[in-house]
Amino acid sequence: MPALLEQLRAGVITRSAGETRALAGRVAPLLPRDATLALHGDLGAGKTTFVQGLARGLGIEAGVTSPTFTIFTIHRGPRASLVHLDAYRLENDRQVESLMLEDFLTSPYVLAVEWPEKIASWLPRDAWHFTLEITPAQTHLVRLAAAGGYPFGEEEKCLPAAGRPLDIMAPTAPNKSAQDRVRETLDIQCLNTAP
C-alpha cells in the first residue's frame, strides 16, 4: 500500500483549505479506475474542499463548488471525469436513481459523494470511505476509514451490526461521529447485499 494511504489510515491533520486540497490532489492518482469516494463529515468539515483537490489531482482546471442545489456536477478532465454528488438534500437512495446518474458515469471516472449515509444502499460495495472532522484545535483530520467496502483491520465480509439495532430508514443523527456514520453506511450496504 502506498505510504500516503497508510498515513490516511492513521489520519492526516491539515491546517488550511490549501493543505486539504493538496492532500486530495495526492490521493487522486492513487485511486483505481472508476472509483467511488464516500466523504463523511459534518458541515464545514472540508468535504467540498477535498473534492476541489481531487479535481486538481485529476488535471481539472475548472472551479469546483458544492452542488447542494444542483445535486451533482460533472467535471471533465484529461485523466478522468469527476462526478461530484451532494446527497444532503436527498431523502433516500431512490431519489438518486431518479437522477439517472449512472448514465453519466462514463469510464474512467471518479465519483465523489458528500453525505453518503443518505444514500448508503446505492453506493457500490467497493467505495472508499473518508472521514473529515474538525479537531478541538480547529485543524482538520482526514482519515481513510474503509476501502473496498470494508473497514481496515476487519475481515473482508459483511459484518453484523454488533448487536445494536439498525434502522435503515432513520435519518442520520447530527451528533454521530463521522466514523460511526461510516460504520452505519457499511452495515446498510451489507444488509442490502446479503445472500
pLDDT in tens, 135-165: 999 999 999 988 765 455 543 333 333 333 2
Q: Is the pTM of this model over 0.85?
A: no
Whether the pLDDT of residue 61 is over 50: the answer is yes
Nearest Cα residue to 60 out of 109, 2, 115, 114: 109
In CATH, what number is assigned to the domain containing residue 179?
A: 3.40.50.300
- Out of 68-82, 91-105, 169-183, pick the least confident: 169-183
- Higher pLDDT among residues 186 and 47, named by residue: 47
Compute, in degrees rounded to 10, the torsion defined by CA atoms 10, 14, 15, 20. Answer: -170
Domain residue limits at 116: 3-193
Q: How far apart are CA 40 and CA 181, in angstroms?
A: 7
- Higher pLDDT among residues 69 and 41, named by residue: 41
DSSP β-ladder status, 140-147 and 72-75 = unpaired
Q: Find the mean pLDDT for residues 34-60.
A: 95
Q: Count up the domains in the chain and report the number.
A: 1
User: Side-chain half-sphere of 70: how many Cα atoms within 13 Å?
Assistant: 10
DSSP β-ladder status, 109-114 and 12-14 = unpaired
Instruction: Give 163-184 as a DSSP string.
Output: T----TTSPPPTTS-HHHHHHH
pLDDT in tens, 3-35: 898 899 999 999 999 999 999 999 999 999 999
